[in-house]
Amino acid sequence: MRKRQKGFRTKKYSKTGPARKKFQRAAGTVKKRKYTSADLLEQGVLAYLYEKREPQNTANIMEALSLTRSDRKVLSNLLTDLCRKDIISCPRSKKAGKLYTLGQDIDLVEGLVEVHPRGFGFAIIGDGPGVRAQKADKSLRQDPFIAPDNLGSAHQGDRVIFRLIPKKRGRTEALVIKVIQRAANVLVGTYEAGRQTSLVIPEDERFLFNIIVHRKDSCGAKNGEAVVVEVIDFKTGQRNPDGRIIEVLGDPNDITVQNEIVIRKHKLPHTFSDKALEEADTYPDTMPEEKGRLDLRTIAHVTIDGETAKDFDDAVAVEKTAKGWRLYVSIADVSYYVKPGSALDQEAYERGTSVYFPNRVVPMLPERLSNNLCSLVPNEPRPAFTAIIEFDRKGKRLATKFSKSIIVSQHRLTYTKVKQILVDRDKKLINGYSDILDQLKEMAQLAETLEKIRLARGSIGFSIPEAEILIDAEGQVSDVIRSERNMAHKLIEEFMLAANEAVAFTLSAHDFPSLYRIHESPNEEKVREFTTFAQTLGLRLPADGGTPKWFGQVLALVAGAPKEYIVNNILLRTMQRARYSPENVGHFGLAATHYTHFTSPIRRYPDLIVHRTLHALLSKKKSGSPSPAPDLQQAGDFLSDRERTAVTADREMIERLQVRFMAEKAGEVFDGIVAGVTSFGLFIELLEHFVSGAIEIAKLKGDHYEFDEKNYRLIGSHTNKIFQVGDMIRVKVASVDIRQRRINFVLE
């Protein structure tokens, strides 16, 4: 989601006022003006002319809008008035008589509606697959604002036709004139039982209505349970639509039910068809011999993953050579099992990616493949696609070779074990893995060399830890901590980056169509905003702002400081999203001219596409489409969108567990750091737990504080006390709103 205002404001803690709960329970209380029939007729005419694109006569318009003869005079008067105002043009044809088209000055575009819980919205123009913006003003810097009166019958996520209304001062506004496609007729919510009729309160606060459910359509739901409800009809003029419950999820206090809520809310495909499961079951447990595969079973491959990992899609090995090193990156050959056009292929594409929640995985492939046949488990022969890369002692890539292979992983290692062997020098582990100790040492040297080269060319070394949710034996959240990232993580990361770059370079060198992982340069205005912000922290930034090396230098200035995490996060927000595209424009963040995703086909469909195209190149066969999409551009757009959905769902699930964890700590005191400052108040990151919350400006006692927007800080009117990003602070948990996923602090 885009930021709506300058600076680095988060929308999570938007101030909604004391009437918020009342508003949530009595959906539809946003006061809107009632549209007259003339308003609706005008919008219908404009929408029709926009969609037809060609001149239309009165008869065509009447038929399209289902008007009767008695409406003809009203329509004629309206058309005359619109022509007079130059909203439409009225050329006359000898054969067809007077014809009507949109005027040149009227700006109609298609886009998506993004609603705020307080009733207004924003027009997202040209954002997302399939959304056109032929007439959108390219100079628009902000998403056009939609006043509550101008939302019409549109709801969150609907695809609509907007009329843009330029303002002499301030942002452009938008008016919804037609809903083209409803984003959701199936919603997740909480069931509130009544005597005859009941309500379902949508989980997503951006849906500004409740769904009325009659007893016969309640599916046996009990009061307070999480349910999935289907909207039967969005009737014009009816605030709360009718619906019927189609699935009862259960007690929302159960975190397994929370998983189900997030899965349904974000429409994540989570069940496989019988056909797909049958296809997965047709393969034998042991891989049959296959001609043409490079036999690498004698190469000492190992997998290195997290302790809880179940799908091992990459194995690595390193050999010392006379010139330097030979790196083997062997990736599970998912394409051996998932054939183009199969049910498995189609359903994997629809998912796009696996989604990893703290206590559940929503896999891209059935478990028989993801956790068994395609997983490089130890001591079992597995089909793989191997990149063999030769490096000299300075880390320069000398040669590459790619081949379908068969490997046997000799050990299933974890990041922790590798660190304990190489850094902590744990004698017990060293003795237990003596057969690969020398290789692990060579791996560490090669990875360190590759990292130095990458950073020297300008690759940005962000240091942003993630939240790790610890679940106890009873299935409850026991802690929320910062995930550890040690040298073993970096080791695997460097090897995967090296393989991905080598594959991308090979595909590009042969001008072979494929998908690349691209990352475009950041917006200059955002870089300037960050520079202004950084100056408020006392950072003396180097010249040449906006280059990859400049980003790296900024990060070096705060390395090891309390504000390191904050600056990393905010700097990351200045960048564009990485995405998939058939056009190789390089990867800004990695300072790489060629980059793709090759190393995780078990959990990312784009990697499967790259496997298929690379194999087609090596075998010199022009195979069919590597994905169910008609072309790579459509596949790239769709898979980028699936990735964004997965990331959003994962973040939401973590937030849901964080607030449940903190709800048990009301009244407790913690040390934190100011992570953001807005006119609303302060955003605080706790040091002991990886959790964030907010202090409302009205709750800052002892003074009246005002927001210094230019310097991103709060200043006391009488005491001149200042709160700014990076300040260490001690706070008490005042309250936790589980429903809105909001943690409220006060100063201690």
615: left (phi over 0), alpha (psi -120 to 50) or beta: alpha
The pLDDT assigned to 134 comes to 37
Which tens digits make up the pLDDT trace of 718-737?
999 999 988 999 999 999 99
Under the banding of pLDDT at 50, 70 and 90, the label for residue 236 is low
Lowest-confidence range among 33-42, 670-679, 730-739? 33-42
Q: Domains in the chain, ordered, with CATH? A: 37-102 (1.10.10.10), 107-181 (2.40.50.140), 186-252 (2.40.50.700), 274-520+578-650 (no CATH), 524-573 (no CATH), 665-747 (2.40.50.140)
Closest CA to 51 of 64, 38, 41: 64
Closest CA to 736 of 644, 660, 648: 660
Dmax over CA atoms of the chain, in Å, equals 96
Percent of the chain with pLDDT over 90: 62
Q: Exposed e or buried b for every residue in 141-176, given b needs 16+ CB within 10 A? A: eebbbbebebbbbbbbbbbbbbbbeeeeeeebbbbb
Q: Exposed e or buried b for every residue in 4-43, given b needs 16+ CB within 10 A? A: eeebbbeeebbebeeebeebbeebeebeeeebeeeeebbb
Q: What is the pTM of this model?
A: 0.85
Which structure tokens are listed for 282?
């047709």
Lowest-confidence range among 173-177, 187-191, 254-258, 442-446? 173-177
Helix axes 37-52, 72-84, angle to 10 degrees: 70
Distances (CA, A) of 25 to 83, 237, 257, 282: 45, 19, 22, 51
Beta bridge mates, 686: 672
At 138, the amino acid letter reads: K
Q: What are phi and psi of 425, to 5 degrees?
A: 55, 50
Q: In sequence order, which residues have a C-beta less than 8 Å from that of residue 489 and are 6 or more positions away?
A: 415
The pLDDT assigned to 303 comes to 98
Q: CB–CB of 746/690 below 8 Å? A: no
Instruction: Give the whole-angstrom CA distance, residue 351 versus residue 269.
Output: 6
DSSP 100: B
Q: With 50 as the cut, is the pLDDT of residue 27 above it? A: no
The pLDDT assigned to 169 comes to 66
At 431, the amino acid letter reads: N
Closest CA to 7 of 431, 528, 669, 414: 528
Q: CB–CB of 373/643 below 8 Å? A: no
Under the banding of pLDDT at 50, 70 and 90, the label for residue 68 is confident
Which tens digits make up the pLDDT trace of 461-518?
887 778 899 999 888 899 999 888 899 999 999 999 999 999 999 999 999 999 999 9
Instruction: Give the whole-angstrom CA distance, residue 475 versus residue 730.
Output: 31
The pLDDT assigned to 263 comes to 97
Which tens digits make up the pLDDT trace of 190-235?
999 998 889 999 999 899 999 999 999 999 999 999 999 999 987 7
DSSP 371: I
Which tens digits make up the pLDDT trace of 623-644?
677 989 889 999 999 999 999 9
